[in-house]
Amino acid sequence: MSEESSEHRRALSRRPVPDGYVVGYGKPPVASRFRKGQSGNPAGRPRGSGTMKASPLPSPQEERLKAIVLAEAYRTIQVNDANGPISMPMAQAVIRSLAVNAAKGHHRAQRQFAELLATTERERRRKHEEWLDVALTYKLEWEQELERRARLGIGGPEPLPHPDHVRIDMYAGTARIVGPATKQEKARWDLWQAQKPLLERELRGYVRRLRRPDCPDRRAIEREADRTRRALAWLNGGSVE
């Protein structure tokens, strides 16, 4: 699964809302409202809980210590590799040392590395399944909403991302966004879409020139042709590696 940006994750949280109901102060989303005759806190306040206290903010000393730890963890150092010294973050060097000791048969290192690997894979799998569920729910809800608008002949704001741009492969268990997901991306997308005919003409010109056996600057033209193909693949909703 390719890592999705936080902006894309936030974009998939924007769901369609019923006509005539605007979410705001005193008007929570329909799905989260209390049902009539049902208490919002059926268990009541736990005995002895008293007045709720605000959680204390971390002290400046704690924040400075966190910053120091992170700075050291990602500080670049040189380590000796089979092909000579190489540079890498401190955290990576520590994990590599642990893995090397585990491979050499050190039982404690083997146990620590196995636990670390299992925890990391479990967390990645949880996030992967969560992302797939969010993307699938978003796509289905917006497809239903757009079908409802078309059936009733009504308009509404265009969803970003468009459900057609949310590609889900149930066999591979992957979800990705192949179009714009934010207003900034949409503005750039529209600008590039306007340039699409020009890019297609340029690509045809590059292909014709590359067919000539005496094509000058072949490598430069191949690079430009590849760059243009990638841009067109993105505009057509394809994957650009």
The pLDDT profile of the chain, 241 residues, written as one tens digit per residue, is 444 667 777 778 777 776 555 444 455 555 555 555 555 555 555 555 555 555 567 787 888 899 999 999 999 999 888 888 999 999 999 999 999 999 999 999 999 999 999 999 999 999 999 999 999 999 999 999 999 999 999 988 889 889 998 989 888 888 888 888 888 888 887 888 888 889 899 999 989 888 888 888 888 889 999 998 988 887 776 544 4
The answer to whether position 148 is within a domain reads yes
- As a three-state string, the secondary structure of the chain is CCCCCHHHHHHCCCCCCCCCCCCECCECCHHHCCCCCCCCCCCCCCCCCCCCCCCCCCCHHHHHHHHHHHHHHCCEEEEEECCEEEEEEHHHHHHHHHHHHHHCCCHHHHHHHHHHHHHHHHHHHHHHHHHHHHHHHHHHHHHHHHHHHHHHCCCCCCCCCCHHHEEEECCCCEEEECCCCCHHHHHHHHHHHHCHHHHHHHHHHHHHHHHCCCCCCHHHHHHHHHHHHHHHHHHCCCCCC
Q: Identify whether residues 85 and 203 lie together within a single domain.
A: no
Question: Would you call 229 exposed, middle or buried from its count of C-beta atoms within 10 A (0-12, 13-18, 19+)?
Answer: middle
Q: Identify whether residues 136 and 225 lie together within a single domain.
A: no
Q: Identify whether residues 144 and 220 lie together within a single domain.
A: no
The answer to whether position 202 is within a domain reads yes
Q: Identify whether residues 153 and 234 lie together within a single domain.
A: no
Q: Are 90 and 70 in contact (CB under 8 A)?
A: no
- Rounded Cα gap, residues 12 and 137, in angstroms: 9
Our count of domains for the chain comes to 2
Q: Identify whether residues 158 and 205 lie together within a single domain.
A: no
The pTM for the full model equals: 0.57
Closest alpha carbon to 138 in 30, 16, 238, 3: 16
Q: What are the C-alpha distances in Å from 126 to residues 129, 132, 169, 170, 174? A: 5, 10, 17, 16, 13
The answer to whether position 226 is within a domain reads yes
Task: Determine the structural domain holding residue 238 and report its residue range.
Answer: 195-241
Residues sharing a CB contact under 8 Å with residue 80, sequence separation 6 or more, in sequence order? none
What are the structure tokens assigned to 115, written together? 């636990």
Neighbouring CB atoms inside 10 A of 14's CB total 14
Q: Identify whether residues 209 and 90 lie together within a single domain.
A: no
Q: Identify whether residues 117 and 203 lie together within a single domain.
A: no
Q: Identify whether residues 225 and 172 lie together within a single domain.
A: no
